[in-house]
Homo-oligomer: A and B are copies of this chain.
Amino acid sequence: MGDDAALFLPRRGYDTVLTCDWFLEGTHFLRGKHPPDSVGWKCLARAVSDVAAMGGEPKCFLLSLALPERATGKWLDHFLAGLRRAQRLLHCPLAGGDTTRRREILISVTVVGEVPARRAVLRSGARPGDILFVSGRLGEAARGLQLLLRGKRTQRSPDLRALRKHLYPEPRLALAQWLSGRGLATAVMDLSDGLSSDLPRLCAASHVGAVIETAKIPAVRIDDLNRDGAKSAPLALALNGGDDYELLFTVHPASARRMPRSFQGLPLTRIGEITRTRSLRLIGLDGREQAIVPAGWDPFRS
């Protein structure tokens, strides 16, 4: 810090993992809605999630921050408090950065991580017959965003859980390292944009297709379905909601039989299978098949 660049001493026997992630006011968060400590937490957590998805361990990060004058006081203090909490929890200290002034708050985070040499788990390793798993419950973060935008205080425990997951997501570092350390997963990625958008990416990288079952998708729990109507139906949120940062991974059928139902309290759910046919299909509750259409978060579509 203070020098032109930061120095990082790589360990022998490890590869370096690099990732960068935008976190922009108006695009990824709203200054009037998202508490600044959540912005600080989340900008680091989501970048670390990309390192986690490869079975890596975060080592340090660089922060590019652009701020308006009026966000340099209290806003910045709370932002840094959230960022520091994430640094501690994720064992990922700040190594350097660049700051400038700007009308809107702009953040770009680069995380440097390590993975044992030649042990990185890629998106491209899924093979026909492999079993598809996800961790946690999908759509919770999107549900949390709905609640945040609605702005009503809630005391219901599934709502609080959803809000917390949207504001303070926790990258699945321990699970990813367990999967890669035991050689269990053939491919892994983190669900940042929603299952319907991310599954096609994993399949494209692996040159395979997939079939998943609606009945098996561990969707967010919503108590007040009547009030929210169809738009917030759990399945739609689970398929198309972003920001969950759960893991989507594939396991060889022989290993799949030995997979536990949960890891450190986090449910691991078998949702489908990888196919040779390169189509992406969803089997409905009525047994009918439909194509999976990417409808998750995509800044270039909306």
Instruction: Report which A residues bind B (CB closer than 8 A).
Output: 2-10, 12, 14-22, 24, 27, 49-51, 53-54, 56, 60, 62-64, 66, 95-102, 106, 108, 110-113, 115, 117, 120, 122-124, 189-190, 205, 299-300
Contacts and interface: CB of A to CB of B under 8 A. Distances in A.
Contacts of A4: 19, 49-51, 53-54, 123, 189-190
Contacts of A12: 12
Interface of A is mostly: strand
A129 to B, nearest CB: 22
15 contacts: A2-B205, A3-B122, A4-B49, A4-B50, A5-B17, A12-B12, A16-B16, A19-B62, A19-B96, A20-B62, A21-B64, A22-B100, A27-B101, A99-B299, A101-B300
Given A8-B17, A12-B12, 14 more contacts: A3-B122, A4-B50, A4-B51, A4-B53, A5-B51, A8-B16, A10-B10, A20-B97, A20-B98, A20-B108, A22-B106, A24-B102, A27-B66, A64-B64
B96 A20 contact: yes
Given A16-B8, A110-B62, A22 B189 contact: no
Contacts of A120: 7
A18 B1 CA distance: 11
Given A8-B15, A9-B15, A54-B5, A20 B189 contact: no
Contacts of A54: 3-5, 7
A101 B299 contact: yes
A19 B20 CA distance: 12
